[in-house]
Structure 1
Amino acid sequence: MVSAADVTVDDFLGGRVRLIQPRKGYRAGIDPVLLQASVDARAGQRVLELGCGAGAAIVCLNARIPGLTLTGVEREPLYADLARRNCAALEVVEADLADLPLCIRQRQFDHVIANPPYWSRSASVPGQDSAKEAAFDERTPLRLWVEVAARRLAPKGLMHFIHRAERLPDLIRALPHDMGSIEVLPIAARTGRAPHRIILRARKSGRGDFRLHPALILHEGDSHTDGDRYTAPVRAALREGAALEF
């Protein structure tokens, strides 16, 4: 177990969530909070997060929508331990998503969420922090993340992924044939900027038309000199635990 000197306790959702995180290594930012804010779940439903880390996304989802049945899969022992400490209601299964144990493979979920690693180290230099590398380095192909998520969904269940905007084609190509009703929410830093993130939603056995939503703008103003004030919907999601319109 990591010592108290090696962690910090950080406020999320305006203090409704206090998350224990490593002082060094991967630390959750706004992406997992925006991911969970896009999930339209209701009490009694089952939620699985692949690669849950210390639990930022799924713990914030639990604070926003009480009464969910929560399961997280995390490969790194350090983060799995922190996730357990961060939420007593969260079942954390320490495993690689490429080799899930039977206790996960025998179950179906109403929602599967994921914030996969963003970078391939085939095109960059790895760092020295092994846990941080695991969070950023795409060792497991993105295609496999999508396929595993789809297999774990119950009929009509929803998948939500957040990723870099340039990986949207890869995400869509990886969707199995039984995933439909695809929706994409682009996320841009400011008005007029190209989106740098996207949230992808898809439904098991969905038959709805593809929908590309207007971009979610993070910051007010045209440039950094105007300050980094969040726009109203982003501020409500990050500070007040509000859902994102999706």
Structure 2
Amino acid sequence: MPEITEDLLLGGRVRLIQPARGHRAGTDAVLLAAAAPVRPGDVVVDVGAATGAVGLMAAARVRAGRFVFVERDPALADLCRQNCRDNGVQGEIAVADVLDRASREAAGLGPESADLVLTNPPFLEEGQSRTSPDPGRAAAHALPAGGLEGWLKACAALLKPKGRLVLIHRADRLAECLEILNGRLGALELRFVHPAANRPAIRLLLSGIKGSRAPLGILPPVVLNGPDGRFTPEAEALHRGDATLT
């Protein structure tokens, strides 16, 4: 049994058990959940959920929704199930490979079933970098060649007409994300995340509405750290759960 840690998110509003090694929830998950415009009654699907951090943080703000957590690793899915119980969230766990339509549908993930899809796709694809020797970290950070296109197409397919996709990714994958989503989503809203005000963006937050033809909008950036290296007031408020990006 791998070592497990218990961590508190959003100032203690979310309790998360997760592996001590491998991919662990952090600032990316906080930002993605903060950008999630959950409405009461929404069907919210967290794609690539791991132990459920993003969906659980979204649920901590709006409980009156149906939350579905999609994870292909059965061990992580079990931890996600436990986290849902511990946080009082009636979450549904779908053990499925999002890149495989048959796997998605066998897990009950039908097309056009979600009002909101949240996703933090693996950032790299095979051949783009050295793979981590840790299997969990490798699976969380690397897709098959061309996998990002399949991942985002699958997310878009899950959306109802007028449903919204919100994703976080590396800033240098912007052109690819826009190309994949072109014609599938409109009313795109882009926000860059900078480690400091004088440093280039390292992440992007991108959202869009299925079937919309509205143009792209650029939102104010998020700056994580001040000159002293500590969180800016905005970043601190986001991590405490006292602010959102919606």
TM-score, length basis structure 2: 0.91
User: Residues of 2 paired with 1:182 and 1:159: CA distance?
Assistant: 9
User: Residues of 1 paired with 2:190 and 2:128: CA distance?
Assistant: 27
Deviation above 4 Å: which 4+ runs of structure 1? none
User: Residues of 2 paired with 1:151 and 1:158: CA distance?
Assistant: 11
- CA-CA distance at 1:107 after TM superposition: 5.3
- CA-CA distance at 1:178 after TM superposition: 3.5
Name stretches of at least 5 consecutive residues in structure 2 with no aligned partner: none
Query: Among residues 41, 44, 49, which one is paired with 2:41 in the alignment?
Result: 44
Q: In 2 relative to 1, CA 148–106 (structure 1 residues): closer, same or farther, beyond 3 Å?
A: closer
- CA-CA distance at 1:204 after TM superposition: 0.8
**Which amino acid counterpart does residue 227 of structure 1 have in structure 2?**
G
1:209 aligns with 2:215: yes
- The answer to whether the 8 A contact 2:190-2:218 is kept is yes
- CA-CA distance at 1:128 after TM superposition: 2.2
Q: In 2 relative to 1, CA 115–158 (structure 1 residues): closer, same or farther, beyond 3 Å?
A: same
Query: Among residues 169, 186, 201, which one is paired with 1:195 in the alignment?
Result: 201
User: Residues of 2 paired with 1:165 and 1:217: CA distance?
Assistant: 14
User: Residues of 2 paired with 1:127 and 1:183: CA distance?
Assistant: 32
User: Residues of 1 paired with 2:18 and 2:184: CA distance?
Assistant: 37
- The answer to whether the 8 A contact 2:7-2:16 is kept is yes
1:172 aligns with 2:178: yes
User: Residues of 1 paired with 2:119 and 2:8: CA distance?
Assistant: 21
User: Residues of 2 paired with 1:240 and 1:160: CA distance?
Assistant: 18
- The answer to whether the 8 A contact 1:147-1:176 is kept is no
* Secondary structure class of the residue paired with 1:28: coil
Query: Partner residue of 1:86?
Result: 83
Instruction: Pick which of 29-38 and 208-217 moved more.
Output: 208-217
Q: In 2 relative to 1, CA 135–241 (structure 1 residues): closer, same or farther, beyond 3 Å?
A: farther
Query: Partner residue of 2:238?
Result: 237
**Which amino acid counterpart does residue 31 of structure 1 have in structure 2?**
D
Count of aligned pairs between the two proteins: 237
* Secondary structure class of the residue paired with 2:225: coil
User: Residues of 2 paired with 1:240 and 1:113: CA distance?
Assistant: 18
TM-score, length basis structure 1: 0.91
* Secondary structure class of the residue paired with 1:237: helix
Name stretches of at least 5 consecutive residues in structure 1 with no aligned partner: none
Q: Deviations over 1:162-185 (max 9, x none)?
A: 000010111111115131111100
- The answer to whether the 8 A contact 2:111-2:157 is kept is no
Instruction: Pick which of 49-58 and 100-109 moved more.
Output: 100-109
Query: Partner residue of 1:116?
Result: 121
Query: Among residues 115, 129, 150, which one is paired with 1:144 in the alignment?
Result: 150
**Which amino acid counterpart does residue 217 of structure 2 have in structure 1?**
R
* Secondary structure class of the residue paired with 1:168: helix
User: Residues of 2 paired with 1:77 and 1:182: CA distance?
Assistant: 33
- The answer to whether the 8 A contact 1:19-1:86 is kept is yes
Structure 1 vs Structure 2: percent identity of aligned residues? 35
Considering only aligned residues, what root-mean-square deviation do their CA atoms show, in Å? 1.5
- CA-CA distance at 1:117 after TM superposition: 0.7
**Which amino acid counterpart does residue 91 of structure 1 have in structure 2?**
E
* Secondary structure class of the residue paired with 1:25: coil
- The answer to whether the 8 A contact 1:219-1:231 is kept is yes
User: Residues of 2 paired with 1:9 and 1:72: CA distance?
Assistant: 19
- The answer to whether the 8 A contact 2:112-2:161 is kept is no
- CA-CA distance at 1:130 after TM superposition: 1.2
